[in-house]
Chains A and B, each alone.
Chain A
Amino acid sequence: MPLLSALDHQHTVAPPGYSRWLIPPAALSVHLCIGQAYATSVYKNSLIAHFDASQTAIGVIFSIAIVMLGLSAALGGTWVESNGPRKAMFVSASFWAAGFLVGALGIATGQLWLVYLGYGFLGGIGLGIGYISPVSTLIKWFPDRPGLATGLAIMGFGGGAMLASPLSRQLLSFYDPNYDPTNSASVASGGALVGLFVTLGIGYFAIMMFGVFNVRVPAPGWRPAGFDPGTVAAKPLVTTAHVSASNAIRTRSFWLLWVVLFCNVTAGIGILEQASPMIQDFFRDGGTSTVTIAAAGGFVGLLSLFNMAGRFVWSSTSDVIGRKPIYMVYLGVGMVLYALLAVVGSTATALFVLLACVILSFYGGGFATVPAYLRDLFGTYQVGAIHGRLLTAWSAAGIAGPLIINGFLDAQGKPGTLTASAYQPALFTMVGVLAIGFVANLLIRPVPDRFHEPATATDGPGTAPDGPGTATDGPGTATDGPGNPITGPGTETVAVTSGDATDTERSTTR
């Protein structure tokens, strides 16, 4: 099986001189495809009409996919680390494409359960594996700029929805001339849906295979030219030690970061979930909104752009100012922005749009920065697997965010009759949610030594490129474990390697 053998981790090691700038487009080619998951609303009405089913019955397809995303990322993370990014991307592409094709079979035969099985179950596995597959590799290729690298990839997930929405509309109109791509209420035929699913399945598989062929892991000990690991390790909260995924979930810092991500995503989803009716309700005058449906659609588009841009801009910024400070911005400034939105958001449309756009850029930034935060805390050894486990916070927030916003709005009145004041309880609740996340972020400390892997345990598949001898905390390392010193209350403590370890790392630099 030479093809499958070529996918193995050991056959994916980059030859000398391999450009690390080939890795971000490889990662993007996967994330741009799986980002389609957030564009399912385009054909939701058509599926409802084709199956003569309820909104809920069709919505379950997306729910299954998101649940499977969380489960496969959490359970498959260790497998991804040990088998390498190429095999993981191939498996992701296969599941993602198979999901579309089985879904197409379900549409063609009128069997909704096949769509659940295809797009929901199989596609959801492709989503989860694909989401985490390039993250660890990017961090290892860009030890000097992990935030920029993961920001680029995860920006692709946001961009994937922006790509899939107009593309799906145009494909539906191609397969069904009666479908109007400019009318969101237009319904496409079952045949057009089958054509769309088959085209997307084949097209996405081809694009993702581009990433499969280009992705490589760096050779053990590889470092970017001119990179001094000591400059990174000298930053607050950054460790050169390594923590396994099974140990990571036993640390307090992992769960504090879980709360941070959960709170940031919950608050952001609160806006995303209601974006279109929200802007109309905020500017309702005597029962009629001054914001048209088309303008509200434009607002949703603008939020998508800021969501995507925030992933790259803020995550890259975190390389400069640090991970804990950037989350203090996301959560602390976010609290102020949510409060302003509640109090003065209805005074001017431009102000409302500006506040919401910055909030959504923080939402995207929170997703993109978290892999680099994990790398700072737990090292590169199994950062992909740890990231997968952390993504369960996303799944939980996907339930909590809409529940909070819809629960408050349902108590205020019927859709189409709400005004800005009806949103205040929900928005102030989000301020409280962000405050919890802010405190959790402040409490994050370096991982205690007892959770660190022995230096030799990080060799082999899925290892960090650091090589042996890099993982020891030297004198002056501050941690939060029993018996481990902390430099002072509320201090962001510093984990640095001993001089010997740093010298060993330098000796492996190319």
Chain B
Amino acid sequence: MTGQPNGQSGRLWISWLLVAALLGYGVVQTVITAAKLFTG
């Protein structure tokens, strides 16, 4: 995923960061909820 022509590296980073941020937010929030299984 490195050394891409036509400035694709930046596009790749932005693309993956966007989906990682969206998915990461959901996962973290769900892990917080799931933790209640062990603490609730």
Residue ranges of A at the interface with B (Cβ–Cβ < 8 Å): 15, 17-19, 21-22, 25-26, 28-29, 32, 156, 159-167, 207, 210, 214, 292-302, 304-305, 308, 353
Contacts and interface: CB of A to CB of B under 8 A. Distances in A.
Given A22-B12, A214-B11, A305-B27, A298 B19 contact: no
Interface of B is mostly: helix
Contact of A18 (B8, B19, B27, B38): B8
A22 B8 contact: yes
A396 to B, nearest CB: 28
A295 B40 contact: yes
A244 B18 CA distance: 35
Contact of B11 (A22, A294, A297, A301): A22
Contacts of B40: 292-295, 297-298
A304 B4 contact: no
A122 to B, nearest CB: 23
Given A22-B8, A297-B36, A305 B19 contact: no
B27 A301 contact: no
A225 to B, nearest CB: 13
A304 B31 CA distance: 10
B18 A25 contact: yes
Interface string B10-30: 011001101100110111011
A165 B25 CA distance: 11
A297 B33 contact: yes
Contacts of A163: 22-23, 25-26
26 contacts: A15-B6, A17-B4, A19-B4, A22-B15, A25-B18, A28-B19, A29-B15, A29-B18, A32-B22, A162-B23, A162-B27, A163-B23, A165-B26, A210-B18, A292-B40, A295-B38, A295-B40, A297-B33, A297-B36, A297-B40, A299-B37, A301-B34, A301-B36, A302-B37, A305-B27, A305-B34
Contacts of B25: 163, 166-167
B4 A298 contact: no
Contacts of B23: 28, 32, 156, 159, 162-163
A166 B29 contact: yes
Nearest to A306: B34
A21 B12 contact: yes
Contacts of A25: 15-16, 18-19
B16 A353 contact: no
A1 B18 CA distance: 30
Nearest to A20: B1
